[in-house]
Structure 1
Amino acid sequence: MSDITDAYWRAPPLARTFSAAVLVTSLSVYFGLFPYRWIFFDYTLLFKFPPELWRLLTSFLLTGPQLGIIMDTYFVYQYLSQLETSHPRFNRTEDLLFYMIFCGSVITILAQSFFRRMVFLHAFVLSLAYTATQDARGQKAGFFFFTVPAQLIPVCMLGATLLMSGSLEEVLFQATGLIAAHLYDFLTRLYPEFGGGRQLISTPAFFSRLVQTPQVMQRGYGTAIRPNQPSSGSSTGAQGSGPLPDSWRTRGTGHRLG
C-alpha cells in the first residue's frame, strides 16, 4: 500500500489530482454512492439560489461505464501528465490550468448548444490527446494494439468511438474537444507566429498567485514568513564578512574573557 501511495505522490500534481477525481466520481456514481443528478451540467442550475457551481467541474469527471472507467481514467492521466511534464508550452502549472479551463469552456458551450450533452469528459480527453501529440510529429505512438504516427492519435480515437458506439453524433460531440484544443493553439501560437498578429489570449496573472506557494504562513502560535533567498549565515549565527578568518567567524558570536 505504501508503494502505491508513494507512486501517487510522485506523479505530476495536476494529472494525479484530476485523474483521481475522475476515478472516484465515476465509481461513486456507478456504484450508487451518490446520484447522477448531482453531476451533470445544466446551465439553469447555475442561476438558482444557491447556485450549483460545482457542476462546471463535475460534468468533466464522469467516465463511461464498465471498461470505460479504466480506459477513460488512463487516457486522462496519460495525456495530462505528458502536457504537465514534457510539453514545451506548459512549463508553468498556471498555463496548463488555463488551457484546461479554456478548452473546458469551449466544449461546454459547443456540446450544450449543438448536442444538448450534460457530461463532457470524452470530448475533453480528445482535446488533451490533440495538444499532447501535435508537437510529436514524426514520432510513433501506441493506440491499443496498433502503432501509428503520434499526430494521428486523435483521429484514431474518433474512429474507435464510431466503431464502438456506431453513432455519428457521438463522434461529432467528441470532436468538440478537437475544436477547443485547436482554437487554443490558433489563438496562442498559430496566429501570432504565422499570421503576424498578437497573442489573442494569455494566462491571467491571478492564475500564478493561485498555484504559487504562499510566502506567509499563518500558524496557531504566530506567523512564519518564507524568505525569498536563503540566509547567507551559517547555522551557528555568523553572518556577513569581516576581517576575521572564516574558521574564526564560524565559531559563533564569541564572549569576552576576563
Structure 2
Amino acid sequence: MADIVSAYWATPPVARTVSTLVFASSVAVYTGMVSMEPFLFHYMFLLKFPPGIHRLVTSFLVTGPQLGVIFDTYFLYTYLSQLEKTNSKFTRKEDLIWYLTFVGSFIIIINQLWTGAPIYLQALMIAMCYTAVQDARGQQAHFYVVTVPAQLMPYCLLLVNLMLAGWYSFQVGLTGIVAAHLHDFLTRLYPEFGNGVNLIPTPWFISYIMRTPHVQNTVYGSATVPPRLNEPRSGPLPDSWRSAGPGRRLG
C-alpha cells in the first residue's frame, strides 16, 4: 500500500490532480452520489444570482459513462503528463495552467456559439493530444491496436467519437482541435514564422500564485517551505543596512 501511495505522489502534480478530480467526479455522478446538474454549463448560469462561475471548471470534470470513466481518465492523464514533463512549451507549471485556462475558455466559447454542448472534457482531451503531438512529428504512436503517425492521433480520437457517439460528439471534439491550434498559432507559429512575439504570454498573477508560498513536492504530498536564510527578506530596513551584518543592542 505504501508503494502505491508513493508512486501516486511521484506522478506529475498537475496531471495527478486533474485526473483525480475527473475520476472522482465521474464516479460520483454515474453512481448517483451527486447530481449531474452542477457539472453542466450554459452561459445563462453566469447571469443568475449567485452566478454559476464554478461551472467554468466543473464542465470539464465528467467523462463518458461506463468504460469511459476509465479510458477517458487514462487518456487525460497520459496527454496531460506528456505536456507537463516533456513539452518544451511548458517549462513552468504556470505555463501549463495558463494553457488549460486559455484552451478551456475558447472551447466553451466555441461550443456555446456552435454546438450548445454543456460538457467539454472530450474536447479538452483532444486539444491536449493535438498539442502533445506537435513535438512528435515524424514519430509513430500506438492507438489501441494500430500504429499511426503521431500527428494523426487527435484525428483518430475524433474518428472514434464519430463512430461511437455520433456527429454531435464529433463536432464537440473538433472544437478542441480548433482551440489547440489557435493556442499553437499565437504562442509558436506566429513568433517563429511571423517574426512576432508570443501574443498570449502567461499572466503574471498566475506565476505569483504558483510561486507563493514556496511549495515543495515530496513523495507524501506537498509541503510549504519557508524562505531560505540566504534569500532576501522584506522589512522596514534598507537593503544596505540589512547587509551590514547582525545588529548590536546599545546600552
Residue 48 of structure 1 deviates from its aligned partner by: 2.0
TM-score, structure 1 normalization: 0.82
Runs of 4+ in 1 over 6 A off after TM superposition: none
CA distance in 2, matches of 1:109, 1:126: 16
The alignment partner of 1:126 has SS state of: helix
| CA distance 1:228–1:179, shift in 2 (3 Å) | farther
Mapping 1:174-213, distance limit 5 Å: 174-213=173-212
Partner of 1:57: 57
Q: CA deviation at 1:215?
A: 5.5
Rounded Cα–Cα distance in structure 2 between residues aligned with 1:176 and 1:145: 26
Aligned position for 2:227: 226
Residue 43 in structure 1 maps to residue 37 in structure 2: no
Whether 1:136 aligns to 2:136 is: yes
Partners in 2 of 1:22 and 1:171 — Cα distance?
21
Match of 1:89 in 2: 89
Bigger RCO of structures 1 and 2 (CA < 8 A, at least 6 apart) = 2
Q: What is the total number of aligned residue pairs between the two structures?
A: 223
1:8 CA displacement: 1.1
- Which 5+ residue runs of structure 2 have no aligned equivalent? 216-224, 232-251
Distance 2:229 2:101 in 1: 30
State the distance in 2 between where 1:41 and 1:108 align.
9
Larger Rg: 1
RMSD: 1.8
1:111 is aligned to 2:115: no
Cα distance in 2 for partners of 1:52, 1:64 equals 23
Q: Give deviations 1:144-185, integer Å, cap 9, x for gaps.
A: 1111111110111111112212x2232121110000000000
Residue 5 (structure 2) pairs with residue 8 (structure 1): no
Q: Amino acid of the residue matched to residue 210 of structure 1?
A: I
Identity %: 50
Residue by residue over 1:207-257, the C-alpha shift from the partner in whole angstroms, topping out at 9 and shown as x without a partner, is 1111114159xxxxxxx9512647xxxxxxxxxxxxxxxxxxxxxxxxxxx
For normalisation by structure 2, the TM-score amounts to: 0.85
